[in-house]
Amino acid sequence: MKHMIRKIWLHICYKMIMKPFLKIFVGVEFYSQDSFKDVDQFIFVANHNSHMDTMMLLCSVPFRLLGKTHPLAAQDYFGKTPITTWLSKIFVNAALIKRIKGDGENPIQMMVEWLDLGHSLIIFPEGSRGTPDIMQSFKKGISLVLKERPNIPYIPAYLENTSGPLPKGDGLLIPGYSSIRVGRPHYIDNDSSDEENLNQIKKTILSLQQNPES
Amino acid sequence: MYFNSIKIPGFTAPASEALIMTLGLLVFFTILFWGWGFFRAQDNIVNLKSRTKSWWVIIIIYATMMGIKKEISFIGLGFMSFIALRELLSKLQINKNLRRVLFWAYLAVPIQFYLAYIGNFQAFLLFIPVGMFFILPFRAIIEGVAEDSIKTFSQLHWALMLTVFSLSHIAYFISLPEIPGFEAGYQGIVYFLIFLTQINDIFQFISGKLFGKHKITPQISPNKTWEGFFGGLILTTLMGYHLSYLVPLNAMQTTIAAALIAIAGFFGDLNISAVKRDLNIKDMSNFIPGHGGILDRLDSLTFSSLFFFYLIYFWIYL
């Protein structure tokens, strides 16, 4: 029941309000290739340049999976005050996780716990928003989590020019152009090293950029 | 040509007459092309089918915008013009340091359509050509950015004129005072403009396909031929003559207006084609999947609306 309410609430927020707003005002174009067909649980990975990224990814998740999809957010940034914690939980459905190890909590272990509960995660392997349009090196966490649960696929998405309408360090949203291209689900090779896995993930994300619609 | 028989609620009798005529034609062509595609699948009629589809969209948008409430017409037209402006500006690579100037340019859209709504003709005429011309540099100077300023000012002002100023004239038809004894009202005038602009595209396309030999501007658009242009001009003028019950003009004036819509529409179309060629893009955006952006659809209208408006204004209101 609680899950259903959350699902409908997020559906209203993202599919009925946010998506038309992004399409008409901001000029976001959504492309996908039946990415979520036959997928019950996944890890969404994408490049990260703007606060708009999370919104665009959530808009791409189908209704069936929306209530159980959580963008990963840093506790020390989004969980600073009770109000921001509440806002990110209600409006973004975020999973707040501590970046720094300590207090006996391992961030990787916490992500695996979310997955074991049947939830899906949205992860930006670059960590932070970084310099616009330059892809930074990926953090190892994504590979570690996927290795723990190799039966869960990752779905790559390429976000183009999201720093145009809403760049880092500027709160003014300006209409323009940006696009999101969601690819097909992929599985990692459990025998490969973390480095190889990260390269593989990076390659699938970047391949969406060159191949717009196929 | 006007029978005064059936009336669609919300529309004046002549406007509903024209709407029903178009709907009849559309149903006829939809069934024709569907049957054609069904029985002769080897023929390539994708272009014809997609044109029929976009006519359905045009007529539905026209009916919802013009038939319900005046406020909806202004908001709807404002939205179209905003999307056209956004598509154009997003392709122009405006300097990132001048974001706030860009934001002010977008603010011109609601103001311009509000001025059309309250019917203040002088302010409506002056706001973008003169007002925005001077307001945009104000914001850039407050920002303190010199780099790219000439380029940005010219691009922003030009884009505003092309998308907001020209398309807002369609909205201003609604605010023009009513003409005694003229039944069709603004719905008829706007329908005359939109219908002729769009049908001119089709007439040009058909005559170009049938007789096209001599290219007009191979650099801008290789598909435009003199035969297509004159075919479109003649057929559109004839069509306009038969739709004269939609406009408050005499037969001579209606013919001139229809011919002017055909000519201006042709140049409006090529103007956007030249812009796209310059930017090396095929479509302005993918807002309507399979049909490109709003500005790709409204290209002819950006010129024809302005010329037609002033023709009506000088003949009737001056």
What the block records as the tokens of B266 is: 């042709």
Residue A213's pLDDT is what?
A: 46
What the block records as the tokens of B302 is: 């950006």
Q: For helices B185-211 and B251-279, what crossing angle results, to 10°?
A: 60
A22: CATH: 3.40.1130.10
Mean pLDDT estimate for chain A: 85
* Nearest chain A Cα distance for residue B75, angstroms: 14
Question: Does B99 contact A172 at a Cβ distance shorter than 8 Å?
Answer: yes
CA distance linking residue A131 with residue A125, whole number of Å? 14
Which of A27, A29, A172 is nearest residue B86 as measured by Cβ atoms? A27
CA distance linking residue B68 with residue B115, whole number of Å? 21
Q: Do residues B153 and B185 lie in contact, with contact meaning Cβ atoms separated by under 8 Å?
A: no
- Beta-carbon contacts of A2 under 8 Å, excluding residues fewer than 6 positions away, are none
Cα-Cα-Cα-Cα dihedral sign, residues A180, A60, B296, B126: negative
Residue B270's pLDDT is what?
A: 94
Strands A154-160 and A178-182: antiparallel
Nearest CA in chain B to A167: B96
Classify residue A149 by its DSSP letter.
S
Q: Which of A31, A177, A179, A180 should one mutate to test binding to chain B, selecting the residue with the greatest count of B CBs within 10 A?
A: A177
- Beta-carbon contacts of B100 under 8 Å, excluding residues fewer than 6 positions away, are A172, B139, B143
**Beta-carbon-side half-sphere exposure of residue B251 (alpha carbons within 13 Å):** 2
A180, β-bridge pairs: A30, A159
Buried b (16+ CB within 10 A) or exposed e, B156-191: bbebbbbbbbbbbbbbbbbbbeeeeebebbbbbbbb
How many C-beta atoms surround the C-beta of residue B116 within 10 A? 25
Residues of B in contact with A27 (CB under 8 A): 86-87, 90, 285
Q: Does A170 touch chain B (CB under 8 A)?
A: yes
The 3-state DSSP composition of chain A as helix, strand, coil percent (nearest 5) reads 40, 15, 45
Per-position pLDDT tens, chain B of length 318: 556 667 788 888 888 888 888 899 899 988 988 888 888 777 777 777 888 888 888 888 888 888 888 899 999 999 999 999 999 999 998 888 888 999 999 999 999 999 999 999 999 999 999 999 999 999 899 988 888 889 999 999 999 999 999 999 999 999 999 888 888 889 999 999 999 999 999 899 889 988 888 898 888 888 889 999 999 999 999 999 989 999 999 999 999 999 999 999 999 999 999 999 999 888 888 887 777 888 988 999 999 999 999 999 999 988
Which of B96, B100, B285 is nearest residue A27 as measured by Cβ atoms? B285
**Which helix (H) or strand (E) element contains residue A98?**
none
**Which helix (H) or strand (E) element contains residue A125?**
none
What's the whole-model pTM score?
0.90
Classify residue A137 by its DSSP letter.
P
Residues of A in contact with B83 (CB under 8 A): 24
Got the DSSP string for B193-211? HHHHHHHHHHHHHHHHHHH
A121, β-bridge pairs: A43, A70
Residues of A in contact with B293 (CB under 8 A): none
Collapsing DSSP to helix, strand or coil, A181 comes out as strand
Classify residue A85 by its DSSP letter.
H
Domain that holds residue A59: 2-210
Collapsing DSSP to helix, strand or coil, A10 comes out as helix
Question: What is the ipTM score, two decimals?
Answer: 0.85
Nearest CA in chain A to B292: A29
Q: How many CB pairs under 8 A join A and B?
A: 35
Question: Does A174 contact B99 at a Cβ distance shorter than 8 Å?
Answer: yes
Residue A163's pLDDT is what?
A: 86
Q: To 5 degrees, how large is the angle CA B288–CA A50–CA A202? A: 90
Question: Does B286 contact A29 at a Cβ distance shorter than 8 Å?
Answer: yes
Residue B76's pLDDT is what?
A: 93
Residue A125's pLDDT is what?
A: 87
Closest CA to B182 of B316, B17, B59: B316
**Considering its fold, how many domains does chain A have in total?**
1
How many C-beta atoms surround the C-beta of residue B290 within 10 A? 10
Residues of A in contact with B110 (CB under 8 A): none
CA distance linking residue A53 with residue A205, whole number of Å? 14
What the block records as the tokens of B197 is: 């602009």
Residues of A in contact with B89 (CB under 8 A): 175-176
H-state helical runs in A45-150: 52-60, 63-66, 75-78, 82-91, 107-116, 141-148
What the block records as the tokens of B217 is: 């501007």
Got the DSSP string for chain B? --------TTS-HHHHHHHHHHHHHHHHHHHHHHHHHHH-TTS--HHHHHHHHHHHHHHHHHHHHHHS-HHHHHHHHHHHHHHHHHHHHHTS---GGGHHHHHHHHHHHHHHHHHHHHT-HHHHHHIIIIIIHHHHHHHHHHHT--TTHHHHHHHHHHHIIIIIIHHHHHHHHHHSPPPTT--SHHHHHHHHHHHHHHHHHHHHHHHHHHH--SBS-TTT-TT-BHHHHHHHHHHHHHHHHHTGGGSSS-HHHHHHHHHHHHHHHHHHHHHHHHHHHHHT-S-S--SBTTTB-HHHHSHHHHHHHHHHHHHHIIIII-
Q: Do residues B159 and B85 lie in contact, with contact meaning Cβ atoms separated by under 8 Å?
A: yes
Radius of gyration of chain B (CA): 20
Q: Does A174 touch chain B (CB under 8 A)?
A: yes
Nearest CA in chain A to B102: A174
* Nearest chain A Cα distance for residue B120, angstroms: 27
Which of B79, B83, B102 is nearest residue A174 as measured by Cβ atoms? B102
B246-295: pLDDT as tens digits: 999 999 999 999 999 999 999 999 999 999 999 988 888 888 777 788 89
Residues of B in contact with A133 (CB under 8 A): none
- Beta-carbon contacts of B67 under 8 Å, excluding residues fewer than 6 positions away, are B8, B9, B10, B11, B187
Strands A69-74 and A95-97: parallel
Give the residue ranges of chain A where pLDDT is below 70.
99-105, 132-133, 210-214
Closest CA to B311 of B265, B267, B247: B247
